[in-house]
């Protein structure tokens, strides 16, 4: 028996695709089925025959860059049009354009995976091998099994090769592992047999079309008004922060959201392996990306290279995609001690784990040095429900030890204050002269403004950035 869960349509070029999500009694996970709304089943069978004939008569381009050559694309379109006219002699121009669009999509690039990439509800697309269906991770429904099967290991490898060539990377039997990204910013990991023993794999983590804002996170109950205001207070007062959490917990999305609080008169340098952050366009922001060496081992630009270079660009704030190595961490903590605010992500599941990872090999930062770090924020994803939550917020004492300020209560699904942020208040008071009551009043003002944006449904990062900029301007005029 089939239980309907959801259905909607997506558009890929001129092809309209219907998505149906349902559960059958024989299933252990729901299914994600796609079907073409404006191309009949009979037409699809004929198109498959045209596709096979086209492939046998033509050598496909190795990459989308080759396809973007006007001469090559025109030749492919002309060949496809001839074949369509052969099998559909009375086709009108609109239908012809639709069929050409569909066939090019199926023959060039990533085939039916291209349709999944158009669904903004998906976070992850996974090809495990040529025998199993493609899996997807849906924002609302978690892991789903699709009705798409990549019918050969050779085709999966071909897709991985296309992705790699577009950014100058290779995946071969000698180099069977590849980290890459699509032009859209989506992150890709690929592996080849026999390293992945059941077959070749491709994992695509989709880049969000709309960057997450702090109001989005409040609406999703990821964080509450009090927690957001506390972090805003910290950012305004130059507290460096590390956002930690497990894989898929939303660390980078959270980092993007709290960047809504950056002042517009600060110079910000961001450093990432693959560009994911989108900061408000009102900010003074310079984004930078690392680069792997070419096959000859030349031209590589590391995270450490960019961190050192960033310090020569007179930054007020430095954002690092992920802290992994001792040298990077040492330079970043040195930057904190010399007056720069630093924001980065780290893989750790709670505050204690974050502290242990920072103070033990391979990062191994001396405990006393950790006092330069203002706050730690831990993100968590419940793998059973799929919900992402701000799990813990902590401050750092002078001896480098953490003090937990806020903790997520799983039973009530709420972020609660567990201890007074003594170090935060003392530091702000030391450098601004504000009393405890004045700091509390400042927090109340921030909560009031966040609630106003929430009520007005203002969730665009650029619009929020302008509102926060006006807030800072008003503050400075009142002094």
- Give the separation between CA 47 and CA 41, rounded to whole angstroms: 10
Please say if the pLDDT value at position 89 is more than 90. Answer: no
Average pLDDT, the chain: 88
- Give the separation between CA 150 and CA 224, rounded to whole angstroms: 43
Per-residue pLDDT reduced to its tens digit, 187-204? 899 999 999 999 999 999
- Give the separation between CA 395 and CA 378, rounded to whole angstroms: 12
Please say if the pLDDT value at position 332 is more than 70. Answer: yes
- Give the separation between CA 253 and CA 138, rounded to whole angstroms: 16
| pTM to 2 decimal places | 0.80
Please say if the pLDDT value at position 2 is more than 60. Answer: yes
What number is the average pLDDT over the span 455-470? 96
- Give the separation between CA 351 and CA 212, rounded to whole angstroms: 23
- Give the separation between CA 371 and CA 375, rounded to whole angstroms: 10
Bridge partners of residue 399, in order along the sequence: none
pLDDT attached to residue 322? 87
What number is the average pLDDT over the span 447-466? 96
- Give the separation between CA 394 and CA 303, rounded to whole angstroms: 27
What number is the average pLDDT over the span 155-171? 87
Please say if the pLDDT value at position 65 is more than 60. Answer: no
Q: Classify 249 in phi/psi space as left (phi over 0), alpha (psi -120 to 50) or beta.
A: alpha
pLDDT attached to residue 168? 77
% of the chain residues with pLDDT over 70: 92
- Give the separation between CA 182 and CA 340, rounded to whole angstroms: 33
Please say if the pLDDT value at position 37 is more than 70. Answer: no
What number is the average pLDDT over the span 119-133? 95
- Give the separation between CA 114 and CA 116, rounded to whole angstroms: 5
What number is the average pLDDT over the span 159-176? 87
What number is the average pLDDT over the span 54-72? 56
Residue carrying structure tokens 């993100």: 379
274 band by pLDDT with thresholds 50, 70 and 90: confident
Please say if the pLDDT value at position 412 is more than 80. Answer: yes
Q: Range with the lowest mean pLDDT among 294-303, 344-353, 370-379, 418-427?
A: 294-303
58 band by pLDDT with thresholds 50, 70 and 90: low
pLDDT attached to residue 449? 97
431 burial (CB, 10 Å; 0-12 / 13-18 / 19+) is: exposed
pLDDT attached to residue 406? 98
Query: What does the domain layout of the chain look like in residue ranges?
Result: 214-478
Q: What is the DSSP string of 394-408?
A: EEE-TTS-EEEEEEE
pLDDT attached to residue 14? 67
Cβ–Cβ < 8 Å for 206, 117: yes
Structure tokens at 251: 């660390």
pLDDT attached to residue 162? 87
Residue 34 vs residues 15, 17, 110, 137: alpha-carbon distances, Å: 12, 6, 16, 15
- Give the separation between CA 379 and CA 251, rounded to whole angstroms: 6
Please say if the pLDDT value at position 143 is more than 60. Answer: yes
What number is the average pLDDT over the span 27-37? 86
Phi, psi angle pair for 365, to nearest 5°: -85, 135
For residues 421 and 179, which has the higher predicted lDDT (pLDDT)? 421
Residue 132 vs residues 112, 187, 190, 201, 204: alpha-carbon distances, Å: 15, 22, 16, 11, 16
Phi, psi angle pair for 229, to nearest 5°: -65, -40
Please say if the pLDDT value at position 69 is more than 70. Answer: no
Cβ–Cβ < 8 Å for 359, 367: yes
Please, what CATH class does the domain formed by 214-478 belong to? alpha beta
% of the chain residues with pLDDT over 90: 61
């Amino acid at each position: 028996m089939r239980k309907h869960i959801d259905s909607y349509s997506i558009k890929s070029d001129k092809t309209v695709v219907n998505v149906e999500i349902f559960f059958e009694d024989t299933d252990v996970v729901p299914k994600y089925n796609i079907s073409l709304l404006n191309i009949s089943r009979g037409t699809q069978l004929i198109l498959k025959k045209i596709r096979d004939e086209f492939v046998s008569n033509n050598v496909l381009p190795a990459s989308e860059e080759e396809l973007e050559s006007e001469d090559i694309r025109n030749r492919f379109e002309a060949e496809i049009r001839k074949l369509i006219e052969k099998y559909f002699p009375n086709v009108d121009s609109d239908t012809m354009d639709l069929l050409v669009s569909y066939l090019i999509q199926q023959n060039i690039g990533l085939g039916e995976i291209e349709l999944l990439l158009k669904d903004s509800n998906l976070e992850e697309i996974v090809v495990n091998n040529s025998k199993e269906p493609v899996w997807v991770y849906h924002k609302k429904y978690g892991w789903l099994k699709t009705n798409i099967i990549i019918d050969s290991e050779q085709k999966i490898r071909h897709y991985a090769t296309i992705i790699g060539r577009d950014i100058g990377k290779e995946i071969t039997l000698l180099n069977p592992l590849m980290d890459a990204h699509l032009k859209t910013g989506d992150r890709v990991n690929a592996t080849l047999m026999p390293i992945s023993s059941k077959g070749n794999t491709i994992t695509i983590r989709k880049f969000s079309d709309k960057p997450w804002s702090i109001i989005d996170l409040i609406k999703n109950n990821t964080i509450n008004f009090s927690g957001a205001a506390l972090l805003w207070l910290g950012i305004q007062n130059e507290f460096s922060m590390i956002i930690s959490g497990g894989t898929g917990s939303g660390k980078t999305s959270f980092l993007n959201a709290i960047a809504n609080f950056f002042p517009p008169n600060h110079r910000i340098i961001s450093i990432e392996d693959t560009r994911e952050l989108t900061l408000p366009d009102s900010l003074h922001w310079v984004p930078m990306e690392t680069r792997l060496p070419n096959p000859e081992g030349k031209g590589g630009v590391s995270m450490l290279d960019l961190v050192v270079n960033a310090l020569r660009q007179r930054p007020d704030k430095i954002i690092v995609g992920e802290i992994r190595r001792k040298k990077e961490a040492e330079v970043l903590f040195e930057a904190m001690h010399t007056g720069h605010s630093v924001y980065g992500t780290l893989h750790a599941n709670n505050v204690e784990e974050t502290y242990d990872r920072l103070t033990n090999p391979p990062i191994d930062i001396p405990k006393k040095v950790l006092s330069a770090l203002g706050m730690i924020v831990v993100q968590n994803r419940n793998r059973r429900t799929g919900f992402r939550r701000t799990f813990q917020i902590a401050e750092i004492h002078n001896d480098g030890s953490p003090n937990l300020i806020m903790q997520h209560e799983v039973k009530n699904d709420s972020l609660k204050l567990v201890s007074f942020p003594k170090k935060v208040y003392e530091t702000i008071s030391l450098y601004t002269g504000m009393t405890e009551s004045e700091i509390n009043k400042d927090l109340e003002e921030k909560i009031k403004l966040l609630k106003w944006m929430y009520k007005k449904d203002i969730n665009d990062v650029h619009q929020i950035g302008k509102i926060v900029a006006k807030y800072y301007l008003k503050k400075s005029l009142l002094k």
